[in-house]
C-alpha cells in the first residue's frame, strides 16, 4: 500500500476522512486473506497516484472494521464504494478491470 496516497479507513476516522472530505473518496473494503483483494491492490495503488489531488483513496480492512462493513452492507470483498458529498455514489463489487474503476471515478467527478 502506498502510504503517501492511500489512507487506512477505520470506524474512528471514517466521518472525517470520508463523509466530511471535500473531494470524492474511493474506499476499498478488503481483507488480507482475500485473493481477489490482493490482486486488486496494485490497481488501487495506481488509481491513487493517477487521481492524487482529485480523489482521496482509502482502504478499510473488513476483519478489523466489521462495524463499517456492516454499515455499508459489504457482503463480498473486494467491494469498492466511491463517496461524494458524504454519500455513496458508486459501488463496484468484485475485482474488476482498472478501466471500470476509472470510469466510475470519472462519473463521480463530472
Reported in sequence order, the residue ranges of the chain that DSSP labels E, i.e. its strands, are 6-8, 25-30, 56-61, 79-84, 87-93
Question: Strand pairing partners for 6?
Answer: 57
Concerning whether 29 is annotated as a catalytic residue, the answer is no
Concerning whether 47 is annotated as a catalytic residue, the answer is no
**Catalytic residue among 9, 27, 37, 108, which?**
37
First-to-last C-alpha distance (Å) of the chain: 27
CA distance 86 to 25: 9
**Catalytic residue among 34, 89, 93, 102, which?**
34
Give catalytic residues, as residue numbers.
34, 37
Amino acid at each position: 500500500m502506498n502510504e503517501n496516497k492511500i489512507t487506512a479507513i477505520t470506524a474512528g476516522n471514517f466521518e472525517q476522512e470520508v463523509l466530511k472530505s471535500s473531494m470524492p473518496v474511493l474506499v476499498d473494503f478488503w481483507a488480507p486473506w482475500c485473493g481477489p483483494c490482493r490482486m486488486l491492490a496494485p490497481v488501487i495503488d495506481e488509481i491513487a497516484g493517477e487521481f492524487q489531488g482529485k480523489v482521496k483513496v482509502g482502504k478499510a480492512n473488513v476483519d478489523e472494521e466489521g462495524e463499517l462493513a456492516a454499515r455499508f452492507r459489504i457482503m463480498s470483498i473486494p467491494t469498492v464504494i466511491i463517496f461524494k458529498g458524504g454519500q455513496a455514489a458508486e459501488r463496484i463489487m468484485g475485482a474488476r478491470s482498472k478501466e471500470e474503476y476509472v470510469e466510475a471515478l470519472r462519473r463521480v467527478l463530472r
